[in-house]
Structure 1
Amino acid sequence: MKRRQDIDQIRGLAILLMVMVHAAATWAPPTASTTSLFAIIIAGLGGLAAPLFVTVGGWVTVQSSWSMRKAMIRFVF
């Protein structure tokens, strides 16, 4: 199966979102407000990171198993 650039881009976006959320949680000052617009945006986007990555990973797994099955059928018959 050839690599799909759109899937790689979505996976890269999910990784960047995950890094952003963890960096913000690690280096945020203790007195930082959690109700600021920046904190709300980070929390909202960060909530998408893990589900997006897992969904894309599942999709890629299914696609590769389908292509493997087709290849096996062609090989056998």
Structure 2
Amino acid sequence: GDIRATTYQGHEAADMQWVEDVDGTRVRTFGRGFLIGEGRGYSLRWTTPAADWNDAANQVALDTFLSTLRVPSG
């Protein structure tokens, strides 16, 4: 999928999405990578069956995950 520049919790970040088959199930993954300084970074991934991607419950869960995750400071 395409890579899109964004910011996350004040850090430069990049988002990607892709679809693949895992054990016979089509899944869709959202990935976000970001650097927090001093050579440290994170890669977040959210994967769900592709058929469930647009379900309201999935979107709420992803939004909650992204909005409540806190990275350590310092």
* Structure with larger RCO (C-alpha < 8 A, sep 6+): 1
TM-score (norm 1): 0.30
Q: Which is richer in strand?
A: 2
Q: Which is richer in helix?
A: 1
TM-score (norm 2): 0.31
